[in-house]
Amino acid sequence: MDPVTPRQSEILDRARRAGRVDVDGLSTEFDVTPQTIRKDLNELCERGMLQRVHGGAVLPSGIANYAYDARRQLAAEEKRRIGLRAASLIPDNASIMLNIGTTTEQVARALRQHDGIMAITNNINVANILRAAPAVEVIIAGGQVRASDGGIVGEAAADFIRQFKVDYALIGASAIDPDGTIFDYDFREVRVAREIITHARQTILVADSMKFERSAPVRIAHISQIDIFVTDKAPPEPVVEICREHGVRIEIAGDGDTDRRDTEREDGPGGHAK
């Protein structure tokens, strides 16, 4: 097999840093036609170095996850808007749990101006984001700290979560199948995420639309177990139909999500989605 070309090597480098590359952006950057870039991407995908998605390519998914810093850059603006929209659904003086993920970190950033929040998390990054907020009490789970992303995982963390019953769970995920199954990569992390869902009165799933293009091996839950799904684009129709059937409300975070109160729920902050 011929070695990759210098341009393909640079494309791979960009994908490793950002998690995703787009045909139009690469075409402009390298001053070549989109057809040339598609050919490069197809060759890299045939070698198993990338995985094709609509409009570009991502690092191969499956049992391997993106580097955490790269995931922060992937769909960063979409995650910021999702975080703002999700935080707007949380009233002051509420108790919440947040699991590991770059999108739940954005929720945490948007929650820093809330009053009277008690936040329980197994995510060191979320704890650091919220700890300086003047009106937020932060409680962090104990257990094994995963070096790659600061997640606290395992049975000790799951046992810790079982002590609580909170108003809201905010859950991120790595992949969502068309049948509505929600997935992640690490079974130790998934055990904690399941406990968070079980011990919350309402569960809000926060996930950008790229999660529909990815796969992961460990099942967290089914979308029918969620109360509100906050994302950046309308989900695929099979997922929309499942949400409709099970009374799951879909919230689309758009360009207008600039303040935590700008999309306050019409039924009041204490209303139920189901």
Burial of 36 (0-12, 13-18, 19+ CB in 10 A): middle
The answer to whether residue 65 is domain-embedded is no
The answer to whether residue 221 is domain-embedded is yes
27 and 111 together in one domain? no
**Greatest Cα pair distance in the chain:** 61
Looking up residue 41, the CATH number of its domain turns out to be: 1.10.10.10
Calculate what percentage of the chain has a pLDDT beyond 70. 87
pLDDT of residue 274: 33
160 and 244 together in one domain? yes
Looking at per-residue confidence, does 80 or 271 come out higher?
80
Closest C-alpha to 196, from 160, 220, 167, 161 = 161
pLDDT of residue 20: 83
Domain limits at 54? Answer: 6-60
Calculate what percentage of the chain has a pLDDT beyond 90. 64
41 and 137 together in one domain? no
| Composition of the chain by helix, strand, coil, percent to 5 | 40, 20, 40
pLDDT of residue 268: 38
User: How sure is the predictor about 2, in pLDDT bands with cuts at 50, 70 and 90?
Assistant: low
Residue type, 217: P
128 and 212 together in one domain? yes
Q: What is the mean pLDDT of the chain?
A: 87
CA distance 210 to 15: 14
124 and 198 together in one domain? yes
Looking at per-residue confidence, does 31 or 58 come out higher?
31
pTM: 0.73
User: How sure is the predictor about 258, in pLDDT bands with cuts at 50, 70 and 90?
Assistant: low
Looking up residue 228, the CATH number of its domain turns out to be: 3.40.50.1360
- How many Cβ atoms are within 10 Å of 28's Cβ, its own excluded? 12
157 and 208 together in one domain? yes
User: How sure is the predictor about 73, in pLDDT bands with cuts at 50, 70 and 90?
Assistant: low
Mean pLDDT of 97-124: 95
Looking at per-residue confidence, does 154 or 136 come out higher?
136
User: How sure is the predictor about 150, in pLDDT bands with cuts at 50, 70 and 90?
Assistant: confident
Cβ-contact 53, 215 below 8 angstroms: no
- Tally of domains within the chain: 2
80 and 185 together in one domain? yes
181 and 50 together in one domain? no
31 and 75 together in one domain? no
pLDDT of residue 135: 95
The answer to whether residue 265 is domain-embedded is no
User: How sure is the predictor about 29, in pLDDT bands with cuts at 50, 70 and 90?
Assistant: very high
The answer to whether residue 274 is domain-embedded is no
pLDDT of residue 1: 56
Q: What is the pLDDT of residues 204-214, one digit of tens each?
A: 999 999 899 88
CA distance 224 to 152: 26
